[in-house]
Homo-oligomer: A and B are copies of this chain.
């Protein structure tokens, strides 16, 4: 399994004027990442345009909200204006968005996302069932991934996504700049741009590199400027090791929109990753 991450600029909502428009756009990003089992979304600072500072917070909050299993959303997120329209966005329905089941039917070693609460000086985790489960850990007030063991009593302990099979949603992080992100990543990088070389001409070489690295970071430019310009504003250039590629050869429209580029690019990549 390839560990797939994407990087998007903090300017990506710049063309959306209202919180409703922004919510819909973020929902499309979230769905694309969930469909194609993206593990990490990195929001990098784009200094080529002046985007609203609040957009970063809106992006991260709604992306994380949509990735959160519905049974935990009300517990983790207080009423906040950013989430005003989050309720009407299309659901993700990833495997970690589990249903309510009878607590007696819980399997030994079952994995669930939960939220850690304190009761009578003990920590418990709410995993969306009728009862809280005793929690052996120290992340009070946090969203946690737990393994539930059933030895006479149910007990939940922290487990890391890397140690569990299957797809468990994405994490969201910030990066200070595109060049810092590129310097610090250990992944093979795919930079998408209409100015890039045609992907299909390089796909065999590229896929061999991915098979060796097992980590792929796909980087997208912004609605206003592409990756070359964003790097130029950081006094950097595209490096030949960065796989600067055009995923939409012979496009019949002047531009491919940001959210279209994400879904389209990940569709193509997914197809090769599972070939």
Q: Which residues of chain B are within 8 angstroms of A31 by Cβ–Cβ distance? A: 253, 257, 260
> What are the interface flags for A27-53 relative to B under an 8 Å C-beta threshold, 1 for contact and 0 otherwise?
000011011110000000000000000
25 interchain pairs, CB-CB under 8 A: A31-B260, A32-B260, A34-B253, A35-B248, A35-B251, A35-B253, A35-B260, A35-B264, A36-B251, A37-B252, A90-B257, A92-B253, A94-B253, A94-B254, A198-B274, A200-B275, A201-B275, A247-B271, A249-B274, A260-B263, A263-B264, A263-B267, A264-B266, A267-B267, A268-B268
Instruction: Report Cα–Cα, A3/B267, bound state, in Å.
Output: 22
Judge if A256 is at the interface, Cβ distance under 8 Å: yes
Copies of this protein in the complex: 2
Q: Which of A182-237 contact B (CB under 8 A)?
A: 198-201
CB-based contact B274/A271 at 8 Å:
no
Q: Does A272 contact B (CB under 8 A)?
A: yes
* A255 on interface, CB distance cutoff 8 Å: yes
Q: Which residue of B lies closest to A272 (CB)?
A: B200
Instruction: Give Cα A257 to B274, complex, Å.
Output: 20
| CB of A179 within 8 Å of the partner chain | no
Instruction: Indicate if A61 sits at the interface (CB-CB under 8 A).
Output: no
B-chain residues with CB within 8 Å of residue A201 when the two chains form the complex: 275
Q: Say yes or no: A95-B37 contact (C-beta < 8 A), given A200-B272, A263-B267.
A: no
Residue A265 at the chain B interface, CB threshold 8 Å: yes
**Which residues of B have CB within 8 Å of A252?**
34-37, 94-95, 167
Residues of A within 8 A of B (CB): 31-32, 34-37, 90, 92-95, 167, 198-201, 247-257, 260, 263-268, 270-272, 274-275
Query: A249: shortest Cβ distance to chain B, in Å?
Result: 4
Residues in chain B near residue A32, CB distance under 8 A: 260
Interface centre among A35, A90, A256 (most CB of B within 10 A): A35
In the complex where A200-B274, A248-B35 touch, is A93 in contact with B267 (Cβ < 8 A)? no
How distant is the Cα of A34 from the Cα of B253 in the complex, in angstroms?
Answer: 6
Taking the closest CB of chain B, its distance from the CB of A95, in whole angstroms, is: 7
Question: A226 to nearest B CB, angstroms?
Answer: 16
Question: How many Å lie between the Cα of A205 and that of B256 in the bound state?
Answer: 29
Across-interface contacts of A255 in B (CB, < 8 A)? 93
Residue of B nearest to A168 (CB): B252
Distance (whole angstroms) from the CB of A223 to the closest CB of chain B: 11
Shortest beta-carbon distance from A231 to chain B in Å = 25
Q: Contacts of A247 on B, CB cut-off 8 Å?
A: 267, 271
Shortest beta-carbon distance from A264 to chain B in Å: 3
